[in-house]
Structure 1
């Protein structure tokens, strides 16, 4: 080494060799000097450093571009700053090192003088300190401190983008009984198992945290109230399966409160307080459920959220069924057809009428598969009655606007008829005025295709929309249905009588069948008969009934001789 260094550098050499940090001098891509500490750090001899070992051998391959960048900066005379690399020893082991290099001159040669320090233990200690500061020591989940930071980040992002979010407060029902009867060690084990299950529900962008005790928080950025309700339902479901803890099979239930940003709070304290309030409301309602916090949210809004969450499951779980209402000819009282009406038989809420869920189905995009199911089931049931020898001329099915405008609607109708064997002329599709008049030229093409197929078409709720008589003349519609709003006060309201009479007269002049819906009294029936109305339906004859009861009505024809 003395051949390399000047004789006057004995003090420098002694200092470098005693240093407890790696020191090197590098020029033209090779090591000119490496002190003993650095040789020991990497496991190479002095001779190896001077002959075969360069900077690339000391760093993992994926970080070689960083080495190139730093060497270029030193060669350009740019002072360095400490940076970290993954060092690689001669035996292949790796460690985290901090490197600092500075440009210098060695005689006429431009060199880089630098230090190397093993910071593996320091990095591990820093990581452990952060872990203790930000994470729950029992479950490993983020604690209140880290949750606070995440909420602040979420609120900042939501304010910039005008977004929404939800904070979910979860509390285990009767958890104190577990600690008191089985001990805190079993309780701790249960908390860890529950945390693992909860983690399987949330997305990567969500935060699952433990506040302490049996209280957990789920932070859901960029979600709607409906999506938050869906997460809450999944949490309840995933917690329902028994836990095997400490040799015991334990079943627990959570109660969940949900607060929404920004309407329920714009800071973590308010969101937590309101979610906690909602959680206690859930406990008051019997536990094992969830509640939204809101001073204004009424039951109808909550019901809508519940329906939105449950609607997709309802179709796959076969919770829908069809009821049927008779279509009666005023000429002789014969039941000549039926209208298919969907019902949702919810396992907990009982029978749900369509006016409570159809709008939700339209908003969520579920109306198409539900409408397709209705059409296939109605055609199947109609053919089953015909196969029994029952006289059924018409099976009427309502078609939602979105369903009517979906691509392939005509082909779907043809598929339903082909699959069930029902003759096309026995199927009647009911569309509202608004559906027909929306993009009238497109509608005309679809209606014409259905008409060529042989399917009958009916204009439902007639008189409540904005039909153009010119289009009505062109549309291949065979029936007009007078809306029930003109029938309910027919005996008392002269204007309603005039409107109903006009529709009947117009329909007859256009050679269309006219049906009045919502008939409930004998007086209404008498007036409609005097106007020359051809068909009626309503509670006066029968409420919508299930297929079994409708079979009895078709067989007995109880109104046949009423004139």
Structure 2
């Protein structure tokens, strides 16, 4: 997997910059006639330093011959806002020392909101120009140039047969001069280029000069790329054939292809990258007419890819991403464009479609991605969250469409998983709600809007309270009571969970010490810890300091972590847990069964308790398989010397089943709802309900 901050990405970027800087052709970037970038070849070609060109001491208008400016300006005048052209120019440039340089320029010119930007490559064709003039002149003094030119020089009769060929022709094409004089040029041309070659040959016979690109087959069978210049051959005022020069540009073509691959394609999957994808969407937006079918942008994110990457290794993760790319390509239409944006994020452009077809495609993607992947001998299953945005009018921008699809994907990932969501403005409202939550979280502690409630966990055999789990509540002054499911993920994303978590931990320890001093029966207090807290560089020390400030014995504090955390940065998590155990704290694994771990996997961590997720408990007396799974978890956890807690007990039958299976502790609304501080004492009057 490659991201923009990785060493691998930096390597590809540095390589691309070196290729451009050291290319055997000139390369430049202009904005409104001023140079933004030139490579060494271009600066040397026109005789200026790069600094003089880039810092506006010299503009393009000082370098292009005045007589050649008019047809370039003509093209610029026709260029509308947000349009671009790609073309070739044969233009003269003026060297710093005054001499004329004949060049062939391939350029892309774009008008972006009135700002004219040009990207061009430049070849020096001065020698070819001289050859052309010398051959047309027919002077004896140019014979040496014919013999010693590094470019191929040849003549054809009106039937296309070779009449002459210089030594460079033999070197480039591989046939001897005598062999060429027995041939027509047609057999040398790649089949796909024959029509173009004949067209330019006819142009020369009609008195026109032209320059074009051909692919030719050498005598040894190797394909080479040639830049051909063809012009009429006259004798006594009549056109009797064609003169031509040919330069081998194979290396330049390969270089250009390599540059394009690095600039527009993801190096891992070979899919189009963000830049190329955005260009395709933007083109579709601006070419779409009123009677054109709509198009759709899909934003895909692999669910829990990080867990796969961390548990199996980054190499396996990279192989997996390649397989995902292939599976997507094999299940979409040829006209659909798939892109890898970054990490495990993909986008798909579906042109000429409608909502019904898009939904069918989204469902198919969800289905095919659930089939296991064989990744270097590992069976890997992953689901995908999809967001969909439809292109409707030219007022939309590519960035708005991708953002809309991203917003819809985020909603899928949070509330559905392995499904899809079509973007609507309602999702923007939810995004605004999320932003308000994130903003107001920063002041919630200061405004004392947080409070704690405590839900008892009972010993299944004695019926006594053994632990109180600490639960945070946020009473917002405008929005009222905000569910933890709304603000905890946002606190995690923004990093505010560090400060909030520290407040919860210290408040719970302080409250437990108060209860102990008041003479309540002995029990522990459990506090949920996020992965960001756990992996924070000074978390263990901060826990020690809280225990010291509150004068609480660490044996009375239990820290709960969610199962999914155990596959995030495994070694760091293990190290942090070991340090907590050395501080004499108890550690439990929460929501077990909802992630990718097994009890045998948990053996590598210093855990004391396993809390079975409520999704298993609710199936008791409804699903025999669910009951067997619950019983198996209890049995295996006991064999690993772990205490077992059942979450979400809501019925008497569930309670009795768990007691019969030997579950150690239980928690749920059937036993007790979470309690505010002032009601905790009352629970000890009713704890005999379990007996």
- TM-score between both structures, scaled by the size of structure 1: 0.48
